[in-house]
């Protein structure tokens, strides 16, 4: 499949932001565990604070997403808001790289996570600007696929500084900080093609009372989503199953560290997940062409249900590696097909706003999982029981996607 210049530039941003995603899921939780160990709160695991902080960041993002998306739908606004979000994310990231206090680190991490996530709202909505409905599945899949493999490059270079710190005359802590900086520079560089080559094709005319009109539009769009039953059931189903997906992605390393599994082994396993996810993300679009997008989503949801059940009893590093491989098979497909299917449902001129709602359901899902992890840590001293509860989310998601199938036949 040949891609246009705009499609290639859009795909490259997945390469850019995936570097942030990988360090957030792999090394940042381990780094926070180190900082927390310098001045811990007795009787409370580091996972609890990191989970609640993640939930706070996601809660703020979820509140902002639809409103900011509505503003971005107006002529000339999408690129400005996208660039502003990237700047906030990068500045917050560079700042938390320099601090030693774990509370300050968490505050700066929230700022960085907000910028990164809002940028993704605008980025996801640009899919309708660069690809037709017929090409969305493939373009979205290639975005995730290239993101998975591309993100490993700055990650591996960063690991060289972490694991070989002494060879460079550095402490391991300094090597870790350098690895974060490498990821942020990578993020910035691969953002440039999108800023240069992707234009806002669909938009609503600029209005005099932009903020007030955007607020009214958010309310109107919510009513339209509610009255469009296939879209409404789809987005609710997405809320539940993506909760489990995001929780497993964001909290896997923290959970492994809590079980005192070998840190190097955990990172290597997550790196393997990226390489496995690359071909399977591309394969997902082809399978969707043959078997249907919703059928494939149900397959991927079922795989994640197995991961949650198996993860409940996990206590060995080889078991973590086994699950990392299984997640790699499903991760690219469930994310790329979810994004492209929604892109086909939304009106193009209001894509930012609709993707803002898509993001708010995804982010509130990502909010609930870490909260359950945190509560489980406080109540039982372990995150294990929250992981088992994710099975319920996958079951609900499966049922609602099945309902969407019936309504769209």
Q: Is the pLDDT at 117 greater than 90, yes or no?
A: no
For CA atoms 199, 205, 206, 209, the dihedral sign is negative
At residue 182, the pLDDT reads: 95
Distance of CA 238 to CAs 23, 33, 177, 294, Å?
25, 31, 35, 11
Structure confidence by residue, pLDDT tens digits, 155-202: 899 989 988 888 889 998 999 999 999 999 999 999 999 999 998 887
The predicted model gives 63-80 an average pLDDT of 76
Q: Which domains, and CATH codes, for the chain?
A: 5-408 (1.20.1250.20)
Lowest mean pLDDT among 10-19, 133-142, 185-194, 392-401: 133-142
**pLDDT band for position 360 (50/70/90)?**
low
Give pLDDT, residue 106.
94
Confidence check: pLDDT of 381 > 70: no
For residue 256, what pLDDT is reported?
62
Q: Two tokens at 314?
A: 């996990």
In this prediction, residue 403 carries a pLDDT of 93
State the pLDDT at residue 213.
65
Once rounded to an integer, what is the mean pLDDT over residues 327-350? Answer: 80
Q: What is the mean pLDDT of residues 367-393?
A: 72
Instruction: Round to whole Å and give the CA distance between 403 and 408.
Output: 9
Lowest mean pLDDT among 59-63, 248-252, 291-295: 248-252
The DSSP secondary structure of 156-212, one letter per residue, reads HHHHHHHHTGGGGT--HHHHHHHHHHHHHHHHHHTTHHHHHH----S-BPP-SSHHH
Question: Who contacts 220 (Cβ-Cβ below 8 Å, separation ≥6)?
Answer: none
Mean pLDDT over all residues of the chain? 82
Beta bridge partners of 204: 74
Residue 347 pLDDT exceeds 80: no
Q: What's CA 201's distance to the chain center, in Å?
A: 25
Residue of higher predicted confidence among 7 and 67: 7
pTM of the model: 0.74
Highest-confidence segment of 96-105, 207-216, 222-231, 345-354:
96-105
For 214-273, write each residue's pLDDT tens digit. 667 667 777 888 888 888 899 889 888 887 787 776 666 555 655 666 667 777 777 788
| pLDDT at 30 (0 to 100) | 81
């Amino acid at each position: 499949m040949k891609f246009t210049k705009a499609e290639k530039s859009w795909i490259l941003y997945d390469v850019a932001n995936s570097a942030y995603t990988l360090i957030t899921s792999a090394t940042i939780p381990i780094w926070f565990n180190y900082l927390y160990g310098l001045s811990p709160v007795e009787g409370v695991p580091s996972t609890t604070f990191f989970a609640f902080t993640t939930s706070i960041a996601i809660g703020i993002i979820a509140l902002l997403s639809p409103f900011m998306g509505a503003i971005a739908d107006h002529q000339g606004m999408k690129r400005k808001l996208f660039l502003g979000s990237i700047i906030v994310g990068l500045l917050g990231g560079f700042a938390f790289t320099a601090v030693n206090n774990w509370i300050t680190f968490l505050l700066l991490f929230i700022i960085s996570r907000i910028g990164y996530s809002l940028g993704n709202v605008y980025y996801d909505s640009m899919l309708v600007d660069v690809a037709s409905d017929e090409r969305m599945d493939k373009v979205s899949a290639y975005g995730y696929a290239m993101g998975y493999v591309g993100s490993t490059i700055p990650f591996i270079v960063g690991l060289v500084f972490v694991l070989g710190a002494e060879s460079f005359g550095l402490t391991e802590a300094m090597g870790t900080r350098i690895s974060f900086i490498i990821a942020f520079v990578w993020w910035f560089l691969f953002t440039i093609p999108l800023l240069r080559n992707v234009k806002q094709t669909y938009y609503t005319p600029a209005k005099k009372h932009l903020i007030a009109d955007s607020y009214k539009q958010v309310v109107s769009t919510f009513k339209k989503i509610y009255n469009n039953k296939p879209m409404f059931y789809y987005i609710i189903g997405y809320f539940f199953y993506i909760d489990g997906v995001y929780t497993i992605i964001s909290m896997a390393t923290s959970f492994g560290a809590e079980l005192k599994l070998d840190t190097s082994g955990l990172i290597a396993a997550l790196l393997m997940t990226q390489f496995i996810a690359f071909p399977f993300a591309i394969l997902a679009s082809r399978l969707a062409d043959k078997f249907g997008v919703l059928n494939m989503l149900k397959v991927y949801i079922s795989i994640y249900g197995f991961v949650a059940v198996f993860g409940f009893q996990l206590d060995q590093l080889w078991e973590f590696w086994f699950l990392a491989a299984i997640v790699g098979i499903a991760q690219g497909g469930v994310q790329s097909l979810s994004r492209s299917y929604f892109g086909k449902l939304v009106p193009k001129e209001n894509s930012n706003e609709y993707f803002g709602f898509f993001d708010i359901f995804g982010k509130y899902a990502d909010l609930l999982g870490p909260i359950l992890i945190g509560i489980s840590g406080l109540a039982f001293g372990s995150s294990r029981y929250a992981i088992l509860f994710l099975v319920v989310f996958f079951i609900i998601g499966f049922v609602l996607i099945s309902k969407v199938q019936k309504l769209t036949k």
